[in-house]
Amino acid sequence: MQWISLAAAVGLCVAQGAASAQAWPAKPVKMIIPLAAGGATDKAARLVAQRLSVALGQQVVAENVTGASGSIALQRLAQAEPDGYTLGATANSLHTIAPHMGKLPYDAFSAFSFVGTYAAFDYVLITAPDAPYKNVAELVERARKNPGTVSYGSSGVGTGNHLAAALFGQLAQADLNGIPYRGGSPAILDVMAGRTDFMFDVVGGAIAQIEGGKVKALGVSGVKRHALLPGVPPIADSVPGYESGGWFALIGPARLPPAIVQRLNTELNRIQASAEFREQLAALGYEPLPGTPADVEKRLKAETLKWGEVIGKLPCTAVPERCATTQ
C-alpha cells in the first residue's frame, strides 16, 4: 500500500498548489518597470497596472528600477520568489537584442515566465523639415551614391531604434554612418537641426514634432500605414522586406505557477478588449497586442534570431560591447 500513500501525497501537493494559486493574490503585487518614469513606455505599463489592480482585487504597485539598460531591474525580477507577487513590464529589445550586445547577469529567456503582450509600436523615419530628400527612395539613393556620409542618430548602441536603422541600411544596401546618443532627446534635436540626416523614433514619441513641423516623416517601420500617420507610407514600399517595431510584455520570474500565469494572461487580454484602454494606448502611439504565453515565446525566438543576424553583420566600431566579449 506504499504506492497508494505516495500517490495520495502527490495528489495532496497538487491540490495545495492549486488552492494556493486560487487564493492569489492575497496581498499587493509589485510590477517592476525597467525604464524611467514619465515616458510613454512607463505610462503604458502603469495603465496595465491600474487595470490589473481592479481585475485582481489587489493593488498592483508600479516601481521604476533603472540602470544598465534595464538589466538591473530584470536581474532583480529574475531573483524574485516565483509566487506571483513580483512581476515585471518589459520590452522586446531587452530579450532579443540585449543578449547579442554583451554578457547579461541572467538568461534573457529561461530566467523568466512570459505572461503575455499588451502593446506594440512602430517606428517612423524622420528627417529635418528642409532635408534634401522627399521620401525614403531619395534617401536611399543619396546614401548609395555617397557611402558613409549619410548619418543617423539613435538612443544608444543596441537600442531598438539603433537596430531599426542598422536593418534599414543592410536591406537598402547602403553604407550609413551611425551616431549613438545618450537617449532619444539629444538625437532628435540633432535631426531637427540637420546635424544628422535621419533617425528612427517611436511614432508616439515623434508625433508632436511631426505635427509641429519640426521634423519630416518619410516612412513607418510597420508593414502597413500607421493610424496616427495615414499619409506616411511603409518603408517596405521602397526597401522590400523591411519591418521593425517593438512591443511590451508582462513577465515574472521563472517557474511562476501555471495557474497564476493563466489568470494574468486572461486578465491582460480582457483589459485589451476594453475600448477605453485601446483609446489610451492609441494616444501614446501604441496598439493592443493580445495573445498567449506561447505567442510571446514564439516572438522572442524569431526576433532573437533576426537581430542576431543584423548585429552579426555590424562592424566592431558600431557595437563595441559585443566585440569586447568575443575577443
Tell me the C-alpha to C-alpha distance, in Å, between residue 94 and each of 85, 91, 266, 304.
22, 6, 24, 10
Whether 123-244 and 2-121+245-311 are alike in CATH topology: the answer is: yes
Cα 145 from Cα 149, distance rounded (Å): 9
Report domain extents, the chain: 2-121+245-311, 123-244
Name the helix (H) or strand (E) containing 305. helix 293-312
The C-alpha cell that represents 53 in the structure block: 489592480
Overall fold of domain 123-244: D-Maltodextrin-Binding Protein; domain 2 (3.40.190)
Q: What is the CATH number of domain 2-121+245-311?
A: 3.40.190.150
Query: Which residue do the cell numbers 514564439 mark?
Result: 298
Q: Return the number of other C-beta atoms located less than 10 Å from residue 250's C-beta.
A: 26
Backbone angles phi, psi at 196, to 5 degrees: -125, 155
pLDDT in tens, the chain (327 residues): 443 444 444 444 444 445 555 699 999 999 999 988 887 788 899 999 999 999 999 999 999 998 888 999 999 999 999 999 999 999 999 999 999 998 999 999 999 999 999 999 999 999 999 999 999 999 999 999 999 999 999 988 888 999 999 999 999 999 999 999 988 889 999 999 999 999 999 999 899 999 999 999 999 999 999 999 999 999 999 999 999 999 999 999 999 999 999 999 999 999 999 999 999 999 889 999 999 999 999 999 999 999 999 999 998 777 766 666 555
Tell me: the pLDDT tens digits for 34-92? Answer: 988 887 788 899 999 999 999 999 999 999 998 888 999 999 999 999 999 999 999 99
Q: Do residues 164 and 244 lie in contact, with contact meaning Cβ atoms separated by under 8 Å?
A: yes
Tell me: the pLDDT tens digits for 88-131? Answer: 999 999 999 999 998 999 999 999 999 999 999 999 999 999 99
DSSP state of 33: E
Among 293, 280, 323, smallest CA distance to 113 is for 293
